[in-house]
């Protein structure tokens, strides 16, 4: 089984609000068709969810955020998710829409529900989940990032591989030379320069991958 995270930076134009990168999405889906084992997909918010999260000052820390902001962020993620599901269907893959509320309660994962996701994948469908804003209880909400979902699923399902599809070649040790780190050990410092990213950027991806 393989877990695959489609980064918001590649499935949308992150510098232009509410703009999907349909061409990139279709190319990725075509490649996914070549995989001969069960896969589970998670996608980020890109210029959809991230854009509105910034506008309404919403973060991964639970707080009493704007109710309208909660509604707008959730709606934008449903919109982006549908674009991705449509691409799957167009390219003859069978997606299974999986909002994080299907396996998360507050900020806790339901292990039994998560294990059911693997069964769905093994039955020939492709579960597709995504980062979203979730209710935390006591009138508080929080942003659950796609990267965090990857960590949650990987811990419970123990996939053969966890792949992060990004708009860059990898993790750079130096932004000027674009030298790629092929292995990360210990507590190496990672800095994300994408200020629009409220979910942790590259640092979060590395943390969840490790």
pLDDT, tens digit (0-9, with 9 covering 90-100), for 40-59:
999 999 999 999 999 999 99
Residue 182 located in a structural domain:
no
In a domain? residue 154: yes
Domain extent for 22: 2-167
Residue 110 covered by a domain: yes
The verdict on residue 177 lying in a domain is no
Give domain status of residue 207, yes or no: no
Which of helix, strand or coil describes residue 134?
Answer: strand
pTM beyond 0.75: the answer is: yes
Would you say residue 71 lies in a domain? Answer: yes
User: How much is the pLDDT for 196?
Assistant: 47
| Concatenated DSSP letters of 111-125 | HHHHHHHHHHHHTT-
The pLDDT value given to residue 82? 98
**Is 7 contained in some domain?**
yes
Cβ neighbors of 34 (< 8 A, separation 6 or more) are none
**CATH number of the CATH domain containing 110:** 3.40.1160.10
Residue 161 inside a domain? The answer is: yes
Tokens of 71: 């509604």
Number of domains the chain is built from:
1
- Give 118-140 pLDDT, tens digit per residue: 999 999 999 999 999 999 999 99
């Amino acid at each position: 089984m393989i877990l695959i995270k489609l980064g918001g930076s590649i499935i949308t134009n992150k510098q232009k609000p509410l703009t999907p990168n349909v061409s990139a999405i279709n190319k990725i889906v075509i490649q996914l068709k070549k995989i001969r084992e069960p896969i589970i997909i998670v996608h980020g918010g890109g210029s959809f969810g991230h854009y509105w999260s910034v506008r309404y000052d919403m973060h991964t820390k639970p707080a009493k955020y704007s109710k309208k902001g909660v509604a707008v962020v959730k709606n934008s993620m449903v919109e982006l998710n549908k674009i991705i599901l449509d691409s799957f269907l167009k390219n003859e893959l069978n997606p299974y829409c999986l909002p994080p509320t299907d396996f998360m309660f507050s900020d806790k994962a339901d292990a039994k529900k998560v294990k059911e996701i693997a069964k769905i994948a093994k039955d020939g469908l492709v579960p597709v989940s995504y980062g979203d804003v979730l209710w935390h209880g006591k009138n508080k909400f929080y942003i659950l990032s796609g990267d965090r979902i990857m960590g949650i699923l990987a811990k419970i399902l123990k996939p053969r591989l966890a792949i992060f599809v990004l708009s860059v070649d990898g993790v750079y040790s130096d932004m000027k030379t674009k030298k790629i780190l092929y292995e990360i050990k210990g507590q190496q410092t990672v800095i994300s320069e994408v200020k629009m990213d409220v979910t942790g950027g590259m640092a979060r991806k590395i943390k969840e991958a490790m």
